[in-house]
Structure 1
């Protein structure tokens, strides 16, 4: 069995590597064309083609994370179909490679793909994405989202704060900070703070060029507003730079631990965390889709043909992989709109394709 396992693993790894490289080369070309459009815009700041190439290269880990299950499916289908067409798999079956043993062999290889996918999605890709965003922020503008930036919320004793950060620079500076302070007792506004920029310190946010408006005697018919302009002001808070970055970054580019901590922060401040919970469970279940793809590819080894066109079966694998990728994204959006259970919205595509793959395995293999 060691010889058979070595044969299958070598062929599958070679085919999956080739498919992954082909997809990455295609995406690298598209990303490079898109990045070259920023060269003229950032030429005055020193942004040139070399930085565009570096930015495009930093997108590769995230693409590999997204494409590895699809590449595993296509590569394994190609190997299984080729072994069936050359009757090699028939010889392997007569040598003792039964259906369950073949399934176990592929699942063991799938575990390796699961580990690689998890490592790239949770460590390599987020680190590379932060480096890419810092590179663009250095030459093309600060990290921001939408027109108003990111909104955060925090509760402190008898106070409630709504915080808006316009942008985050590559060196960690917060730009266009606005802080709205409310009373927890009756919800009345207590103060507003505007700052041109700020940084995170040991005692809180160190804000500069600050304008504070404090509402005094808010319950009186004619409340007073006290205005103070300060060069520096410290706001004590537990909001960290990671939380600000989490609000500004797309959740699919975050680490699982960062997502979990940010979800706890949102729930602790009575904010909706549905979107981030779905993305958290997608981070958990997506690497496991490599196992589903292995099971889905195995029945191709039991198709009865000798000199057929393998390209057609590989094309089927491409369609299945693309449909899984699309369904995985669609269920995330639908689950967020319909307020589904986050784990169900994230796990549904994997469950559907697991049932299909096991059904195909049972029909083509076990009934023969």
Structure 2
């Protein structure tokens, strides 16, 4: 049995590695061609072709995380179909490799791919993506989330705060910070605008070049407005640098722990966290799709192939992998619009393909 495992695992790992290398190289080329536009736009700040190559290389772990289920499916289908065509799998079956033993053997390999995918998506990709954004911000001057910036909320004892951070600078400081303070009745109490801001070590923000406006009700029909300009302003808050970075960065490129902590912060302050909850559960279930893909590829070993028909089935594997990614993205957006349970929205693509793979295994392997 050790010889059979060594044969299957070695063939599948090499095939998946080659397919992954091909896909990653293709994405690297496309990203680099697109990044050449930024080289011309920011040439005066020192953003060269070498910097663009490094930036695109740092984005590769994110592509690797997204591609792994597809490459696992294609590589495993190729190996299973080739073994079936050369009658090697028939010899393995006559040597005692029954359907359930073959399924168990491939599932162990699939679990290895699950662990690797989780490690890439939860540790390598977020760190590489953050490094890539900081690298590019040195030449563009900031990291932002569009024209509106990032919005956060915080509840304190007697006030509610809505905070807007326009962008993050390369030194982890904030740009264009606006803080809106509301009382418990929902009336605007003050508005603070700072050109820059830094994170203090004592649960506070230090704002610089601040325009501070206070709204004070003198009676039922009159409000007094007091405006002042100060060089520095200290604001006590529990909003940390990690939370601001989480709000600025794309949620699908965050770690599971960071997503969980940010979801708790949003829930504690009465904000909608469904988008982040869906991404959190996707982080949990997406690596398991590698296990589903391995099971989906096993029935190809029990098919009868003619000469040259392997390429057709490999192409079918490519289409199945692409359809899984499309279904995963579409159901994520649809679940957010329809208000579905986040865990169900994230798990549904895997459940659908698990049903397809087990049905194919039962029909092609067990019954036939």
Q: TM-score, normalised by structure 1?
A: 0.98
Query: Take 2:188 and 2:170, find their aligned partners in 1: how far apart are those partners?
Result: 33
Aligned partner of residue 176 in structure 2, secondary structure: strand
Shift of 1:219: 4.3
- 1:124-203 to structure 2, matched below 5 A, reads 124-184=124-184, 186-203=185-202
**Cα distance in 1 for residues equivalent to 2:173 and 2:118:** 31
What are the Cα deviations for residues 174-211 of structure 1, in whole angstroms up to 9, with x where unaligned?
A: 00000000101x11111100100010002300000011
2:80 matches 1:88 = no
Q: Report runs of 4+ in structure 1 exceeding 2 Å deviation.
A: 217-222, 305-308
CA drift of 1:222 comes to 2.3
Any unmatched runs of 5+ in structure 1?
Answer: none
d(CA) in 2 for partners of 1:351 and 1:29?
34
- For residues 340 and 293 of structure 2, the distance between their equivalents in structure 1, rounded to whole angstroms, comes to 25
Partner SS, residue 96 of structure 1: coil
**Structure-1 separation of matches of 2:146 and 2:46:** 25
Please give the alpha-carbon distance, in whole angstroms, between the structure 1 residues aligned to 2:145 and 2:218.
Answer: 34
Distance (Å, rounded) in 1 between the aligned partners of 2:296 and 2:140: 44
CA distance in 2, matches of 1:220, 1:205: 34
Q: Which residue of 2 aligns with 1:348?
A: 348
2:246 aligns to what? 246
SS in 1 for 2:143: coil
Matches within 5 A, 1:237-276: 237-276=237-276
**Is the 1:183–1:189 Cα contact (8 Å) retained in structure 2?**
yes
DSSP-derived class of the 1:172 partner: coil
Q: Which runs of 5+ in 2 are unaligned?
A: none
Counterpart in 1 of 2:207?
207
1:37-48 equivalences in 2 (<5 Å): 37-48=37-48
Cα deviation for residue 134 of structure 1 reads: 0.5
1:218 Cα offset (Å): 5.4
Tell me the distance in 2 between the aligned counterparts of 1:219 and 1:33. 63
Q: Does 1:11 align with 2:7?
A: no
Say what the alpha-carbon RMSD is for the aligned residues.
0.9
Higher mean alpha-carbon deviation, 58-67 vs 209-218, is at 209-218
The answer on whether the counterparts of 1:46 and 1:139 sit within 8 Å (CA) in structure 2 is yes
Q: In 2, are the aligned partners of 1:85 and 1:308 still within 8 Å (CA)?
A: no
Verify: 1:300 aligned to 2:272, yes or no. no
Deviation at 1:77, TM superposition (A): 0.2
The 2-side partners of 1:216 and 1:306 are apart by 84
Between the aligned partners of 2:359 and 2:227, the Cα distance in structure 1 is 70
Q: How many residues align?
A: 367
Cα distance, 1:220 vs structure 2? 3.7
Structure 1 partner of 2:339: 339
Question: Which whole-Å CA distance do the structure 2 matches of 1:218 and 1:10 have between them?
Answer: 79
Pairwise CA distance, 1:307: 2.8
